[in-house]
Amino acid sequence: MSAVIEGHHDDHHHGPAKGITRWLYTTNHKDIGSLYLWFSFIMLFIGGAMAMVIRAELFEPGSQIVSPEFYNQMVTNHGLIMVFGVIMPAFVGLANWLIPMQIGAPDMALPRLNNLSFWILPAAFGVLLATFFMEGGAPNFGWTFYAPLSTEYAPPTVTYFIFAVHIMGASSIMGSINVITTILNMRAPGMTLMKMPLFVWSWLITAYLLIAVMPVLAGAVTMMLMDIHFGTSFFKAGGGGDPVLFQHIFWFFGHPEVYIMILPAFGIVSHIIETFSRKPIFGYDSMVYAIASIALLSFVVWAHHMFTVGMPIAGELFFMYSTMLIAIPTGVKVFNWLSTMFKGSLTFETPMLFAIAFVALFTIGGLSGLMLAIAPADFQYHDTYFVVAHFHYVLVPGALFSIIAAVYYWLPKWTGYMYDEFMGKTHFWLSFVSVNLTFFPMHFVGLAGMPRRIPDYAMQFADYNMIVSVGAFLFGLSQLLFLYVVLKAIFYGKKATGQVWEGAQGLEWTLDSPPAYHTFETPPNLEAGEAKG
């Protein structure tokens, strides 16, 4: 470990370089963390703008604002950007900022690789967004890009899409290799695996999931590329291939992928709840085992996304029961969060509000997932707005709320300035009300049979859709307030202390706010009896 630190001797007591090259050439985990977070913030507004177009079109039945073709492009790119451009980079950004500080390491294990894995991301999304200005328009086959929609019937820009997915995948894989290598090799002396902060644990497991499934996604898009351009027939029924095979390969990636987007959230929320309950997390060990078992189970449930393709009954039963099994470790986690709060000295600062909302609303999303897991019932729910309601509940008030909570929680640490608590709480209540206004009625229209991915709908869904659209516009505007709160904190915030929060535990809070450009060049000694995070 000491060898790693010696490698940094040259720039030991230097601050960051000046100008744009600081950001282009940086190998500093804090700089790269900020880059990831700002990138994700920008993509949030781009993907969000697409959601606004979708909701404007669905405000009333009938076709009014955009053509159905453009609507499909909006739906597809909204999904792709939110998944690969917002949630995933935001978590990687948090990992960059926090993992070295939480385990007492001077930086990530592979700083140059870190720089590369960030800087290819804007290239990937540049390629993806450029397809809007090309002949045939942007990808229009849904974020799940099922063959043959994405092969035989795809616009010519699908090749750019495939290239973009390859780059995003490479970025994620490099990021994961970096995270695992850092965690396994660079922990401060005395920090055993079972003393690691839960955010670090959740990211360690997430990184393994990424390494297991991102290459499979790369394989899937490579097969698409070969089907389109080189005359192979992986997914072409006419040549002896099988389009259903695509769905199996896609969801073999896709289901672990949805846990990639939620496991780091579990870690974040655990830290915030223990801080504002002023109690250590209840059942630390069971939290770790729960994350690990959720991750393992995620590999054997993928076909629950495709109950309606015509599986043998044994297959339906297997995937139904294995899916339901996931409710057990997830239930353990929710129980532990509630038990941590039980009889704690609770205060309700903005990060805590978002964390509590996460627990409540993520559980709603989990329960609708349990309903969808029931194979016979799924034939009714499949491809309706019920599914849209389900995954937005786990991804927006789930993953996104956890990221917002993390930003409020660690922003004073990163920048050295407190955000405006009143504005933060306003942002929370606006987001909380509007997110439910947006996604809750989707359950009702979904159960009543409104199909997803359609730019028009039957008259009986009109009222609910209008409510949903109003909620969505409000939610979109609330996030502009979030941007304002963050900027105000950076430029006009009050100085924050090193500890920031009264109940905050963990190595990052022993540093100054903001931390020096290089921290923990000498690893902290945990054997002296410092508590785990």
Partner 1 sequence: MSSIKKSVSKLFLATIGMFLFGFALVPIYDVFCEITGLNGKVTGPTFSEYEDIGNREIKITFTTTNNNGMPWFFDSDRSQMKVKTGEQNLMSYVFTNTTEKPMIAQAIPSVSPGKGAQYFHKTECFCFEQQYLEPGESISIPLKFVIDPDLPADISSLALGYTLFDITKDQMTKQASN
304 is annotated as an active-site residue: yes
| Residue 384: φ, ψ to 5° | -110, 180
Number of CB atoms found within 10 A of residue 488's CB: 14
Q: Which residues of 135-152 are buried (b: 16+ CB within 10 A; e: fewer)?
A: eebbbbbbbbbbbbbbbe
The residue within the footprint of partner 1, chosen from 122, 137, 142, 215 (CB under 8 A), is 215
The residue within the footprint of partner 1, chosen from 46, 66, 244, 483 (CB under 8 A), is 244
E strands, 186-232, are: none
Q: Quote the least distance from Cβ 455 to partner 1, whole Å.
A: 22
Q: Quote the least distance from Cβ 30 to partner 1, whole Å.
A: 20
300 binds partner 1 (CB under 8 A): no
Q: Quote the least distance from Cβ 176 to partner 1, whole Å.
A: 8
413 is annotated as an active-site residue: no
188 binds partner 1 (CB under 8 A): no
DSSP secondary structure letters along 268-291: HHHHHHHHHHTSPPTTHHHHHHHH
Q: Among residues 188 and 445, whose Cβ is nearest to partner 1?
A: 188
The residue within the footprint of partner 1, chosen from 87, 196, 249, 445 (CB under 8 A), is 249
The region of 210-218, 257-265, 276-284, 404-412 touching partner 1 under the rule CB under 8 A is: 210-218
Helix (H) or strand (E) holding 123: helix 111-130
The residue within the footprint of partner 1, chosen from 176, 415, 465, 519 (CB under 8 A), is 176
What is the spatial distance between Cα 119 and Cα 497, in angstroms, rounded to a whole number? Answer: 33
The residue within the footprint of partner 1, chosen from 237, 458, 487, 531 (CB under 8 A), is 237
Output the six-digit token pair for 50. 């697409």
The region of 16-24, 48-56, 207-215, 275-283 touching partner 1 under the rule CB under 8 A is: 207-215
Quote the DSSP letter at residue 299. G
| Residue 64: φ, ψ to 5° | -125, -40
Q: Among residues 21 and 192, whose Cβ is nearest to partner 1?
A: 192
Given a contact cutoff of 8 angstroms between Cβ atoms, the answer to whether 514 and 489 are in contact is: no
The residue within the footprint of partner 1, chosen from 65, 292, 300, 311 (CB under 8 A), is 311
The residue within the footprint of partner 1, chosen from 4, 123, 447, 466 (CB under 8 A), is 4
187 is annotated as an active-site residue: no
What is the spatial distance between Cα 101 and Cα 105, in angstroms, rounded to a whole number? Answer: 6
What is the spatial distance between Cα 233 and Cα 240, in angstroms, rounded to a whole number? Answer: 7
255 is annotated as an active-site residue: yes
Given a contact cutoff of 8 angstroms between Cβ atoms, the answer to whether 439 and 483 are in contact is: no
Number of CB atoms found within 10 A of residue 333's CB: 22
The region of 18-26, 40-48, 311-319, 322-330 touching partner 1 under the rule CB under 8 A is: 311-319
376 binds partner 1 (CB under 8 A): no
Q: Which residues contact 282 (CB under 8 A, 6 or more apart)?
A: 336, 337, 339, 340, 342
211 binds partner 1 (CB under 8 A): yes
The active-site residue, picked from 31, 57, 227, 257, is: 257
The region of 73-81, 131-139, 232-240, 416-424 touching partner 1 under the rule CB under 8 A is: 232-240
Q: Among residues 239 and 331, whose Cβ is nearest to partner 1?
A: 239
Number of CB atoms found within 10 A of residue 392's CB: 21
The region of 233-241, 292-300, 399-407, 417-425 touching partner 1 under the rule CB under 8 A is: 233-241
**Interface mask (CB under 8 A) for partner 1, residues 86-125, using x and -?**
-----------------------xx---------------
What is the spatial distance between Cα 365 and Cα 358, in angstroms, rounded to a whole number? Answer: 10
The region of 20-28, 308-316, 367-375, 376-384 touching partner 1 under the rule CB under 8 A is: 308-316
377 binds partner 1 (CB under 8 A): no
The residue within the footprint of partner 1, chosen from 242, 383, 420, 521 (CB under 8 A), is 242
172 is annotated as an active-site residue: yes
What is the spatial distance between Cα 144 and Cα 241, in angstroms, rounded to a whole number? Answer: 19
Paired with 417 in beta bridges are: 495
3-state secondary structure 349-361: CHHHHHHHHHHHH
495 is annotated as an active-site residue: no
3 binds partner 1 (CB under 8 A): yes
Given a contact cutoff of 8 angstroms between Cβ atoms, the answer to whether 331 and 401 are in contact is: no
462 binds partner 1 (CB under 8 A): no
CA-closest candidate to residue 418, choices 486, 357, 489: 489
CA-closest candidate to residue 423, choices 431, 415, 433: 431
What's the Cα-to-Cα distance from 487 to each of 246, 328, 420, 482, rounded to whole Å?
Answer: 44, 41, 10, 9
171 is annotated as an active-site residue: yes
The active-site residue, picked from 330, 363, 415, 438, is: 330
Catalytic positions: 78, 107, 143, 171-172, 255, 257, 259, 270, 304-305, 330, 333, 452
Q: Which residues bind partner 1 (CB under 8 A)?
A: 3-4, 109-110, 173, 176-177, 180-181, 184-185, 211-220, 223, 229-231, 233-234, 236-240, 242, 244-245, 248-249, 252, 310-312, 314-315
